[in-house]
């Protein structure tokens, strides 16, 4: 999922994750984030993430070093937008 979505991005990727998606991604796709980090640097992609902050995940939120991460409370649902278009 992560590899496919990042392979089609040309400029950047914006996404919103609730706490369930954040926990799922960190649990099952942790190795994929290392690949994403290198793609962000190599291809100069802009990655912006809005995540739901909870007491349980506050220390784990800064998982992508080269991304703009914002935290909100009460986020419901998940979605992503590639290159400001799709």
pLDDT of residue 60: 77
Please compute the mean of the pLDDT values over residues 50-71 and round it to a whole number: 82
Joined tokens for residue 85: 């278009």
What's the number of domains the chain is made of? 1
Taken in order 64, 11, 8, 16, the sign of the CA dihedral is: positive
Joined tokens for residue 51: 């995540």
pLDDT of residue 31: 78
pLDDT of residue 51: 92
CB 55 within 8 A of CB 77: no
**Placement of tokens 């190599």 in the chain:** 42
Question: Rounded to two decimals, what is the model's pTM?
Answer: 0.79
Domain housing 18: 2-82
pLDDT digits (tens, 9 = 90+) for 5-58: 777 889 998 999 999 998 888 888 877 777 888 888 888 999 899 999 888 887
> pLDDT band at residue 61, thresholds of 50, 70 and 90?
confident
């Amino acid at each position: 999922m992560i590899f496919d979505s990042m392979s089609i991005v040309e400029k950047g990727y914006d996404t919103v994750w609730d706490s369930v998606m954040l926990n799922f991604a960190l649990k099952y796709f942790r190795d994929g984030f290392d690949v994403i980090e290198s793609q962000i640097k190599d291809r100069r992609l802009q990655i912006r993430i809005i995540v739901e902050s909870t007491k349980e995940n506050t220390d784990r939120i800064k998982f992508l070093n080269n991304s703009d991460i914002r935290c909100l409370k009460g986020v419901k649902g998940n979605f992503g937008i590639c290159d400001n278009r799709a």
